[in-house]
Amino acid sequence: MYEVSGNTRKSRNTYLAAFVAFFVVAMFIAGYFVGGSYSSSATTSEFSLLDQQLDTLQEESDNEVTLTTTYYYYNTTSLGALYQSVEDSVVVITGVVQQYSFFGLQVATVQGSGFVYSYNGDMVVITNNHVVDSAMNITVTFSNGNGYPASVIGADAYADLAILDVQAPADEFQPLKITSSSDLQVGDPVIAIGSPFGLGGTMTTGIVSQLGRTIQESTAGSYPIANIIQTSVPINPGNSGGPLLNYRGEVIGITTAIIEDSNGLGFAIPSSTILREIDLLISTGSYDQHSWLGVAGVDMKYSIASALGEDVTYGWLLTQVTRGGAADTAGLQGGTRQMKIYDEWVTTGGDIIIAVDGTRIIDGDCLMSYLEEHTSPGQIITLTVIRDHEPLNISVTLGQRPPAT
């Protein structure tokens, strides 16, 4: 019987452990290569799919598909397409005027813009009155360069409007549609097309930056032109009389004035004024339905209210009432004394107009714009005024504004 020593048993255990370890490692390596082959197979399959997709894209590119870029506003309007649809409707207007100077009688050239409109089938050109006022040898030039003689058939200095008859063939006229400006809101996008500095067919864009402004124009004398649209559209001398359009290509105004050295402060006559006046302008040659209150005043503000001890910081303070005018006949009161408030002299003591027919009047712009848009001569309105620190309602029968001089 053999006796097994302890060293021999340890050796056998060592061999057994080594064998087991070898077996485990071998299985792991085999598994790695098997798994690696599957993964490699899957990757090869994916690359094959990608290759097929690339081949498809290459075939499509071989079809020579041309891509074009179109600029849209509010995702609905192509500005380029809109311009092309209206450019032939906008014209350049030129004429000559006689002016007296130190050197005697001089002749100067005037230039502006206008647009074609169909009035009951008759083609006319609409522009600003100040473009053609006192002008001779008026010429209208279309976008194709063709020019023709024109004459004024109606004008209104108080709205800065003029209507021209152009001696041109029928196929030259491409009329625009006029839509009411009554629904315009601050922030609405607008387009101006005209001839700034004689550069015909120039298009600029912007927004309505305010409504109900008043401006002064020399041809209107001392009377304001009211209910004006203020815009941020860049306009320059020569734009006057050109159309202000919405993004459907419809006329909502006529560009008419700028503030010199300003940055984006332009003004336009609203289309509601055109639509209200055009019948009389064409049929009679003038428009005489501007209502007249017969007053002068200044805008109320906090400093004036404080100096007068008034609680109302808005409205229009009457400084003068024209004798025999509508306001004078109704008993409105003008200013009676001069008061220096900070660095300006103000005529005080008159009524403060704060409402017309229940509509709040913030300042003179509000008052003049309301009268222009909502009233006519002979109409009776109710003015709410502050007199002696108390509100008072006064009925006024509006007069007719005297002719411009």
* pLDDT tens track for 232-279: 999 888 999 999 999 999 999 999 988 877 788 899 999 999 999 999
User: Which of 160, 328, 351, 365 is the catalytic position?
Assistant: 160
The pTM (predicted TM-score) of the whole model is: 0.77
Per the annotation, the verdict on 130 as an active-site residue is yes
57-76 b/e (C-beta count within 10 Å ≥ 16 → b): eeeeeeeeeeeeeeeeeeee
User: Which of 240, 272, 291, 369 is the catalytic position?
Assistant: 240
Alpha helix locations (H) across 166-294?
A: 271-284
**pLDDT digit string, tens, across residues 37-93:** 333 333 444 445 545 554 554 555 455 444 444 444 554 668 999 999 999 999 999
Same domain? 311 vs 391: yes
At which of 231, 260, 284 does a domain end? 284
H or E element, residue 328: helix 326-330
Same domain? 312 vs 369: yes
**pLDDT of 34:** 36
Same domain? 393 vs 303: yes
List the structure tokens of 399: 């007069």
Residue of 255, 202, 198, 201 whose CA lies nearest to 232: 255
**pLDDT of 261:** 76
- The answer to whether residue 181 is domain-embedded is no
pLDDT of 6 over the 90 cut: no
175 pLDDT band (50/70/90 cuts)?
Answer: very high
User: Which of 130, 195, 209, 363 is the catalytic position?
Assistant: 130
Number of domains comprising the chain: 4
Q: How far apart are CA 339 and CA 320, in angstroms?
A: 15
Q: What is the DSSP letter of 177?
A: P
Q: How far apart are CA 59 and CA 45, in angstroms?
A: 22
Per the annotation, the verdict on 240 as an active-site residue is yes
Which domain range does residue 29 map to? 7-49
pLDDT of 132 over the 50 cut: yes
Range from 34-38, 86-90, 102-106, 313-317 carrying the lowest mean pLDDT: 34-38
Per the annotation, the verdict on 160 as an active-site residue is yes
- The answer to whether residue 75 is domain-embedded is no
Percent share of the chain, pLDDT over 90: 68
